[in-house]
Every structure is written in structure tokens, then in C-alpha cells.
Amino acid sequence: MSRQVAGAWPGGWIGGHAPGVLLATLIALAATSLGSLPALQSRGLGALTLAILFGMAAGALLPARLDARAAPGLDLTRQKLLRLGIILYGLRLTFQDIAAVGAAGLVLDALVVASTFGLACWAGLRLFKLERGTAMLIGAGSAICGAAAVLATQPVVKGRADQVAVAIATVVAFGTLSMFLYPVAFAWLQQAWPGLVDARGYGLFVGATLHEVAQVVVAGSAAGPQAADSAVIVKMVRVMMLAPFLILLSAWLARKDAPDAGAARKVAVPWFAVAFVAMAGVNSLGVMPEPLRAAGAALGMFVLAMAMAALGACTRVGAIRRAGARPLALAAGLLVWLVAGGALMGVAVHALLG
């Protein structure tokens, strides 16, 4: 039997992908275990961040021969299994979260997402002359939910592994910086202008502008349980905007990339985004037993950690170095907008909707 025919059999397919999937699994196990330690969580180093760091280290240390054997499984993990992780992420959200934040929180989240991503596209392409994929991935991560949003947006914009790694690195760096600065700024405001910002208002601002869910928990908790609750709920609503964002982005890219105005425009609807909303709907109904829901949510995070590990292993440090300082400059500018623009939009929305 020829090697090509044998490779078409299920056993050959499994054997060809097993080394890479196993490598991603081992890295995800290590990242998940360490990411649960309070000492690392308090510094914003969760499982996803550790997974990509460990993956990059593994990719740099792997001999070329082993790297070639692991490549098919790593590609499968960061492309196919990623979608499963995004779908199961919906088990962490409910439609009741939207009702809990009210109209003000919903409008503020929508304004932050739209303005931040729009600014990223404009500044990234016009000012910093970045590739479209890099600018959009940094924008999605800053606007919605950090590394998870970058991973979910990658199939839609067809971003390369090095573009995804650059986007995640910038988002994690500035999100972590913000996680420490926000509580300090809130304490300073409380002393300088008592009563200007209460705990709930601070929580709404944190949830609407900070990058990662874990960072929101840390920054919100620094101002007390009321601020933490408000921050997490607003953040969850912002995360739920990932699905409509991906669908709208896919439609816009299909129209923009059409060869001419009369050409057929095929909109590639990201099915995993639709399934993500469906999973959140199932969770909202409360029909799934809690042990099953918790197991599904934990599996989703583990699969996302595997995808991050595979992404890191496929990324070369040289590609990130060649990207230069421009992606960092864009992410820094978006952070300034999230802080200043988010505050102004928060005041305006509060004045109009209460």
C-alpha cells in the first residue's frame, strides 16, 4: 500500500495529527494548572496567556524534525479546535446578563466596541501603515475581550500566525498594565474628588473598557464587591457582542473584497459565532444541568488554551520582532482611547439614560 493511500485511512490521519495535538494538550495542562494559582491570577497571568508563552517557548526549542511532525496537529488545533472552544465559551454567558446591565450598560458597551475597532482600522492602516489583518486583530482584542476575541476574529480576517501572536502580545501587555492602573486611578479620584465616581460607576467603566475578563475581575475587585459585580456583568455583555461583531465584519469584508461592484458577494458567515450565541441561549434557559454546564465551560477554556499553545508553537519570535514598534503604538493609542473615550462616553450615556 502506498504511503499516500495509507495516510488517507483514519489511522494514518490520526497518527499524522497526534504529535501536534498531544503537544498542545500538554502545554494547555501546564498552563491551566499554573493559571489557577492565585499568585499568578492576581497579576493577570491566566491560562490563555501562559499557554501562548509556553507554546512559543516550545516552538523555539523544538528540533526541526520534531517541529515538522507536530505541524499538522498544531494547525488542526489552532484552526479547527479553536472554533469548538469559542462555541463552548457561550456556556459562560446568559441573555439575562444583558437585562442586568440595563440600557445604559448595553449602549456603552456597543459604543466602546464600535468606536475602538473603527479607530483601530483607521489608525492602523492610515497612521501606522500596518497590514489589515494585524490592525483588525489588535482592534478586536482591544474592543471586545482580549486574546479570545483575537483568536475568534482570526478565521474571519484570515490572519497569519505571526499577526495573531503580535495582536495577543500587545493586548495582553496593555490590558495587564491597565489592570494595575485602574484601581490606583480610582483611589486617587476618591481622594481628590470624593463622590465623583462611585463603586458602581467604576465597575461599569472597568467592564466596558478593560481587555480580558480576568483583568476585569482583578481591577473590579480592588474597589469592592459592588464594583466587581458591575464590572463582570458589563464585561460579559461586551463578550456577547463578539458573535454579531464577527458576522458584521464578515459581511463587510466580503463586500469590500469583491473584485468589482457587480460581482457576486459571498458572505462567509462564521458558523461558530452563531453556535456561540446558540450555546449562550441554551445556558440562558437553564435547561442544562449545572455539572454538565460547568464541565462544558471548563472544556471550552481548556480547548482555547490548547489553541493558544498551538498558536504560540507555530509562531517565530523573529516574525514578531520584524513587526516593530508600530503594533505597540497602535495598542497604546487604543488604550488611551479606551480610558479617555470610555470615560466621556460613560458620562454621556449616564446623563442620557441614567
- Split at pLDDT 50, 70, 90, the class of 43 is low
* 283 grid coordinates: 445556558
Helix axes 213-221 and 225-240, enclosed angle (nearest 10): 160
Which range is most confident: 42-46, 129-133, 208-212, 237-241?
Answer: 129-133
Closest CA to 266 of 276, 275, 257, 274: 257
> What SS3 class is residue 36?
coil
Q: What is the structure's pLDDT at 7?
A: 47
- Split at pLDDT 50, 70, 90, the class of 263 is very low
Q: pTM, whole model, 2 decimals?
A: 0.72
Q: What is the structure's pLDDT at 65?
A: 63
Q: Average pLDDT, whole number, for the chain?
A: 81
pLDDT at 333 exceeding the cut of 50? yes
CA distance 354 to 348: 9
Which range is most confident: 11-20, 215-224, 275-284?
Answer: 275-284
Tens digits of per-residue pLDDT, 3-12? 444 444 455 6
Tens digits of per-residue pLDDT, 340-349? 988 888 888 8
Tens digits of per-residue pLDDT, 158-178? 888 888 888 888 887 788 788
Query: Is residue 102 within 8 Å of residue 47, measured between CB atoms?
Result: no
Mean of the pLDDT values across residues 178-189?
Answer: 82
CA distances for 38 relative to 42, 43, 48, 179, 273, angstroms: 6, 9, 15, 15, 31
How many residues does the structure list for the chain? 354
Closest CA to 145 of 226, 84, 207: 207
CA distances for 131 relative to 127, 289, 334, angstroms: 12, 45, 17
CA distance 161 to 278: 28
CA distance 156 to 273: 10
Tens digits of per-residue pLDDT, 322-331? 667 899 899 9
User: What residues have CB less than 8 Å from 47, skipping those under 6 apart?
Assistant: 28, 31, 32, 34, 35, 36, 301, 302, 305
- Split at pLDDT 50, 70, 90, the class of 295 is very high
Mean of the pLDDT values across residues 275-285?
Answer: 87
